[in-house]
Chain A
Amino acid sequence: MTFLCMFIFASQLFAFNGEAQNKVVKLQSENLSIEELFKEIEQQTDYLIIYSTSEIKSNFNISLNRKKAKVYELLNEALQGRNLKYELSDNYIILSSLTKSERDQQAGRIISGIVKDQKGEPVIGANVMEKGTTNGIVTDSEGKFSLKVPSNAVLTISFIGYQSTEVKVNNQQSLSVILHEDMEMLEEIVVVGYGSQLKKTVTGAISSVKAKELEAPNAVSADNLLQGKVAGLSITQNSAQPGSGMTVNIRGALSPNGSNSPLYVIDGVIVSSESNKAAKVGPSGLLGTALRDGSDRSPLATLNPNDIASIDVLKDASATAIYGSSAANGVILITTKKGQSGRPKVAYSGSFSVQGVNKYFDMLNAQDFMNVANLGMKEQWLYINRYYPYGQTPAPASGWAVLYDESQLKQTDSYDHFDEISRTGLIHNHNVSFNAGSEKFKVYASFNYYDQKSIMKTTDLERFSGRINMEADFSKWLKLNVASMYSLLNANNPSSGMLRGNANEANQTNAALYFSPRLPLEDEYGNLTLPENAMTANPLAWSYMKDKTTTKRIMFAPNLEIKILPELKVNVQLSVDKTDENRDVFSPTKSIVPQQTQRNYGGYSNAYNNNYGIEEYLTYDKQFGMDHRLNVVLGTGYYITSGNNYSVTVFNFPSDALENNYLQLSSDVGETTYSSGRWKRNKLSYFGRFNYTFKDRYTIGGTLRNDGSSVFATNHKWGWFPGVSAAWTVSEENFMKHQNVLNFLKVRAGIGTSGNESILTGGNYSLTTYGMATGALFYFDGLLHKGIVQKQKGNKDLKWETDLTVNAGFDFGLFNDRLSGSFDYYVRTAKDLLDFTFLPATDMVAKLAKNIGSTRSTGYEIGLKGVIMEKKDIDWTAYLNLSHNHSYWVERNPEVDIAPWIKEKDDLSPIYGWKTNGIFQSPEEIQQYTSNGKVLQPDSYAGNKKFVDINGDGVLDDNDIVKLGNNEPKMHFGLGTSVRIKNLMIDLDTYGVLGRKTYDQWIYRGLADSKINTSYRYKDVWTSFNTTGWYPGIAPNAAANNNKSGVDDFSLQNTHYWRFKNIKVTYLLPKDWLKESKIASNASVYLDLQNTLLLTNYEGLDPEMEQNAAPFPIPFTVVLGVDITF
């Protein structure tokens, strides 16, 4: 906090200069000679007045309107009409006579003009102001204006959504002013952290996305909008639950155990990546896995996407080094909209969306379910008793049990439970924004109401969010920028989805798939039907459960800017970011879910996250002569991140009536569970950056950050993160001027480091700690005793993980920027990798946080933008992003050995396993399946997978484990186009992945022999009654138990997909019509079709959600919306 005081003190020093000319001078009389006035000014202020008596007739009397006024006011009045002018310079007032042209200029005259946009359309209601005065007018319905001004006047023309422009009147009689859209101004500027840079001088790998490219009228959070928009940024949706998190990573995932998600900085506020979520409330342990955590919440879900002005993605370390220790995974800088001067504007945008389920798993209907169950019972009986085909003895004609008898098989009713828990989803999204301001004070305010009734009946999300961004110029040297936001999110979020292969996990989507299709979910009295198998829950149980999550977030980020010199300013950035999350749970007696006896329970959990920061930085930006430009930033920051949480669950209330509002009603104290926790850490940073540009074509830049963090061991708290980069704008060179194909070419290269501390969030791994581990308890004589165990071994040598990135690339523009783009190649190396090393199985704890080895990723990115056509009535643009990344080990932990089949410098996420060659279709085939003269799988059964004896030695063992692929996709791509024909616009956005190894999300739970429903694809399963099935049968495969990799390639596929995210058709209401109706200045209506098409060779449900076996599906959405600016 010492910094703040220092700055306030420092700023007072500079305040002095600005005050001088404003100093009030008191006179004895209104009538006096000019020399008497000068004398008074010299006596009462620090000014000395200098003039040449030969040039100026000095002795004249003046008559003023007042006795007391500021210096410049008195001078203005006294010299009016005398052909004299004055200049203030430091402590001098220099008087001189006007030249002829100056004399002409002083005479007022009427200037008229017209304001148009780039397309030649008149701009109605634009502000035309004489600079530095209150003299001004608004353009009429034809964009015209006329104004009386002195001929030396400068006009400022501004209009919301357009870049303000200044025009010198000079001798012109009429003016034609063209206003450029704001976007263009933004496009020229790239936010780089602690300031911005002109795009043409940027030396690092930075991609910018502007508000216009982020339009998706119904997205909860901004990460959704970025999918496919930035080369090198991969965003994967694992669940389409409203507001749920996405896997976001920039240039691959290098940290095997740490977080690989980027750092988010919103309006200068470094958003903590801590995930202190409100915990689940409910029973724990195997007897109570009923209520899982909801899906991860996106850190951006609280932010209204409509407020975003631009998103800048810093990809290489020469750019991210300025964020030092937390920027190893790249930085996403989000800038929200700012107020603009001019007539107050109100804009409304609203949309209404209808959502439906495209496709979900096909499960058996009741009749097939019963038949398959009976067949499944027989199959198990054959196997257990080793009858043919599982043994040599032919099966007797009877002896097996059936699950459903003849009378049951006659049932004709069948129920599709997914239908019963899903519905047509609806989203309302209303956004009102207000924009107003003068040159000195600008404000942007918005209010957003978002309400989603999702495609799952129990899942809703509602958001209220408000934002006020202000910019106040108190004086020429003092400016305050405040970004503030409050957001309230109410969600009904029962868990959905599960990890592939974890079929017993109870959640609603899972339950709907597995619940017997023979039974309705409710009887005629509204009682929930008991499941046929206790392990499957009745999916309606979640409908009666209350599981509300309320998230409140406040962000407040004032930035004070003090201009010391025209080229030197100081910024003080304070940031407050507080999130409170509250979970409110009640499960009534009726909501019986599996593994839980019939009882009710309820409770609360809360999580508080606090982020405070103060940063001060000094910016020096000066152009020296024509050729040299220098930009230097120096700063310091201090950050505190803290959090705490608590939860309580109470069981067995005598009545459901009061829900969880009256916990003391339960007398079941012994089962009550509660928990709480607290953590805090802080960080001190010093950072600096310089950028030097010579002749607008050679730029070099350097960055350095020094971070100290409380989470590291005493001698390793501080880390240095430097970065250097350079760029050469080749197209500025003379030899490039002779051609007109390549209008812009810049070659860039950079090297830099940044840090990662991600596994250290929450914990403090330099210390050995002891605590209550989950379940560390025991009863002695019926009394509960709590145990304490060593939870963590401290590592006194723990230090920062450092990422070193070397990046080279070029930006280009062809045919006058009709085709523009960039290419980047990078090598990113993580050193001193923060990871957990596994301790010997004889140690007390299993793992130790340690700096282990090194990983590397290499890749390239291509971003292309093209203007295919640009005419008055037709605009046609397109973009394409491609990125490829490959991550691999450079150096491993020497203390821990790796499996013999894994190579020392292998991929980071390799898939190793045995190769398969179909399945044994008959018992005879097992004996015939030989290698090197030996029967390879003598203990296998028909229906088992056939493994390939790679080395041909006749034994299936470690030597047959081969690399089957790599989890990383070969390529991510994004492709889109935008066409405007007169007033009709069509936008298309798509993205996809090429060459990704995925497993089939096969919903298969045996042969329904446990009264758990299974997929229609049971027909593919090999059984004694389906000996042509290609999918492995029910018999365990003894051979597989020698496969130490535990993996085979049977259901591994090389997958590609291409998703059509948006097809948006917009109709811009004609200006003429709007002009006549005088309702609005701009209006458009649109129809947006989302997720209409998924082209893929994948055989499961959705390749993007491959990890999730009963996911919340990505819905098909139709959006109708309107945007109006009043």
Chain B
Amino acid sequence: MKTKIIVFLFALCMSISFNSCDLDSKVYSSFAETNFPKTEEDARSMLTGLYAYFKCNSGAVNDDSNGAWCWPLFTTGYGGWIGLSEMTTDEIFNIEHQEIHFNWGSAFDTYSTYTVSRNITRATYILDVFSKLTDMDEDIKNELMAETKCLRAWLMFCFYDLYGPIPVVTDPAKLDNIKYEPRPSKEEYFNQMVKDLTEALPYLYDKTNNTENWGRVNKGVAAMLLMKLYMNDHQYDKALPYAESLTQMGYSLADDYSKVFSEEHNNENIWSVPSGLQMGNEWFFYMIPPSCAEVCGIKVTPYWGVTMMPWDFYDTYAKDDKRLAGIADRYIGTDGTLYSREGNQGERLPYGAIMVKYLLPKEQTQAGNIPLVICRYADVILSLAEIENELNGPTDKALGYLKQITERSGVTYTIPVDIQAGKEKFKEFLLAERGRELYFEGWRRQDMIRFGKYIEYGLSKGYPAKDYMTLFPIPAKVIIESGGIVKNNPGYE
């Protein structure tokens, strides 16, 4: 018997030491570091992943990598770059988030906007991956790297606009060990954006309208970003060559304002956020009131509609302004009732007018398939007017640019006769016209700040605006987690 036990125990020991179990780590439904990224296709798909943060729907790239749900830059919801840049201005009133009307303090939490800045580092990583690919066509590689640099600069531009210079990783050597670093100086950050854009510019695609590259950033975008960077920095002389270069790229104003928004490849459009069934545009979701069935002559599905154009801004349009065709002071409800500004106002019109803007053919009213126009030639024309005024005063040339816009809208008569009396006079009308022309395209906040009217506006509305509110506070989470390495903007400390 004892022998048997010994045999048994021996067998047991054998079985313990003799294990053939493979405890290797394996992943099945993702790529792992062992096999990715290796090829040009891998790098291209990572670039597409970067583009995804430039979407206009709030179904953001949403998984663990962000740590939290985040707002893509161009969502029409309140938390994206456009939202923060429009809803804090005179153009827009947000009913659901009234705290956005200068009711923010040091605890105003924009982390779900801020966290998108990780993509600056992603861009740095993608550039690093591209640069290490050896068997790739040099021209294609240069173009793809230029796109990546342009996207990186654009991301940096948006965050600079909201927060001022924030810590970013642009040096590939730092990718392996990323730590919180103090905020860079304004010059450092500014020069990095300029460097990326100027390096990218020669290699980017020319005009992409009606090409397979529509949707990709192009020379027009890079030039426009450079122009805006310098303008916002009041370096109008440096902005000028980029503005002028844009006039040579083949873009032109559409003959009809509404076509800009209903025809995706219109020659006025330099870049718009594409959309499709898998990546909808939420414009109508945020604009169309919950009881609305028909507005501006198009049938619509009722939505949330919490974003209105305040009546005092609406009233700056002349009655016969053609652009009003896309802004409604009345609509037909799902119950057939006519709701209007002067009659029964329903639940939304008391707050303002409805921005339809995208007057699509009736069959396309389903949310989703409309591009969101971001960069267009009309902005370039207005910028040229502004630059000319800043550099040379309200010259005929400046007025000429301005008139291109007012003429298309049929309201040139609204230009004050004494507009050429002085720079300020010209600027006053120009800012208002920029608002009317480019409403809800994302530029209003920086325009108002550049013209020095932002805080003034906030106070005039009775909002608790403070002088330092031209920048948003860095989210408290970033300040806390960095252990004070990242300092908040003045006024929010």
Contacts and interface: CB of A to CB of B under 8 A. Distances in A.
Interface string A794-811: 100000000000000000
A906 interface: no
A679 interface: yes
Interface in B192-219: 211-216
Of the listed residues A683, A710, A770, the one surrounded by the most CB atoms of chain B closer than 10 A to its CB is: A770
B291 A534 contact: yes
A673 B60 CA distance: 16
B180 A787 contact: no
A775 B11 CA distance: 55
Interface in A774-832: 774-792, 794
Interface string B452-480: 00000000001010000000000011101
Interface stretch (A307-315, A965-973, A1038-1046): A1038-1046
Contact of A401 (B179, B180, B280, B344): B344
A625 interface: no
A241 interface: no
Contact of B347 (A287, A845, A1010): A1010
A386 B274 CA distance: 41
Given A534-B303, A774-B62, A678 B67 contact: no
Contact of B464 (A678, A774, A939): A939
Given A682-B21, A784-B276, A897-B481, A533 B291 contact: yes
A374 B190 CA distance: 51
Given A778-B48, A778-B52, A790 B107 contact: no
Nearest to A940: B464
A788 B31 contact: yes
B277 A791 contact: no
A769 B301 contact: no
A564 B462 contact: no
Interface in A735-793: 764, 766-771, 773-792
A694 interface: no
B245 interface: no
Contacts of A712: 25
A380 interface: yes
A839 B215 CA distance: 32
B417 interface: no
Contacts of A790: 46, 65, 122, 125
Contacts of B61: 773-776, 787, 789
Interface stretch (B96-104, B220-228, B390-398): B96-104
A634 interface: yes
B484 interface: yes
Given A10-B7, A565-B1, A1042-B106, A767 B25 contact: yes
Contact of A684 (B21, B28, B66, B368): B21
B51 interface: yes
B349 A535 contact: no
Interface in B281-338: 282, 285, 290-291, 301-305, 334
Contacts of B248: none
A777 B26 contact: no
A531 to B, nearest CB: 8
Interface in A1-40: 2-3, 6-7, 9-10, 13-14, 17
A788 B49 contact: yes
Interface string A203-229: 000000000000000000000000000
A709 interface: yes
Nearest to B125: A844
Interface in A359-397: 377, 380-381, 384, 386, 391
A683 B23 CA distance: 7
A910 interface: no
B1 to A, nearest CB: 7
B117 interface: yes
Given A285-B57, A618-B12, A897 B483 contact: yes
B103 A1036 contact: yes
Given A535-B290, A597-B301, A684-B23, A838 B67 contact: yes
Contacts of A2: 15, 18-20
B45 interface: yes
Interface stretch (B32-40, B234-242, B437-445): B32-40
Contacts of A927: none
B31 A769 contact: yes
A852 B12 CA distance: 38
A841 B481 contact: yes
A787 B46 contact: yes
A1041 B347 contact: no
Given A401-B350, A778-B55, A897-B481, A840 B367 contact: no
Contact of A710 (B23, B42, B101): B23
Nearest to A898: B480
A846 interface: yes
Interface in A664-710: 668, 670-671, 673, 676-680, 682-684, 686, 708-710
Interface string A423-444: 0000000000000000000000
Given A673-B278, A780-B215, A770 B8 contact: no
Interface string B1-20: 10011011001101110111
A287 B282 contact: yes
Contacts of A532: 290-291
A286 interface: yes
A1037 B347 CA distance: 23
A530 B291 CA distance: 9
Given A845-B64, A1036-B103, A717 B118 contact: no
B65 A791 contact: yes
A899 interface: yes
Contact of A777 (B19, B48, B121): B48
A713 interface: yes
Given A532-B290, A779-B276, A1041 B351 contact: no
Given A534-B291, A844-B65, A1046-B107, 11 more contacts: A287-B368, A401-B344, A597-B367, A638-B19, A682-B21, A781-B211, A789-B49, A840-B167, A842-B120, A1011-B291, A1041-B104
22 contacts: A10-B12, A287-B280, A377-B350, A595-B285, A638-B21, A670-B278, A682-B22, A684-B21, A708-B21, A708-B23, A712-B25, A775-B55, A776-B52, A786-B45, A787-B49, A788-B49, A842-B117, A844-B65, A845-B67, A957-B106, A1040-B105, A1041-B99
Interface of B: 1, 4-5, 7-8, 11-12, 14-16, 18-34, 36-37, 42, 45-52, 54-55, 57-68, 77, 93, 98-99, 101, 103-109, 114-115, 117-118, 120-122, 125, 167-169, 178-181, 211-216, 274-280, 282, 285, 290-291, 301-305, 334, 344-347, 349-351, 366-368, 462, 464, 476-478, 480-484
Interface of A: 2-3, 6-7, 9-10, 13-14, 17, 284-287, 377, 380-381, 384, 386, 391, 400-401, 403, 405, 530-535, 564-565, 568, 570, 595, 597-598, 616, 618, 634, 636, 638, 668, 670-671, 673, 676-680, 682-684, 686, 708-714, 717, 764, 766-771, 773-792, 794, 836, 838-847, 896-900, 939, 957, 1009-1011, 1036-1046
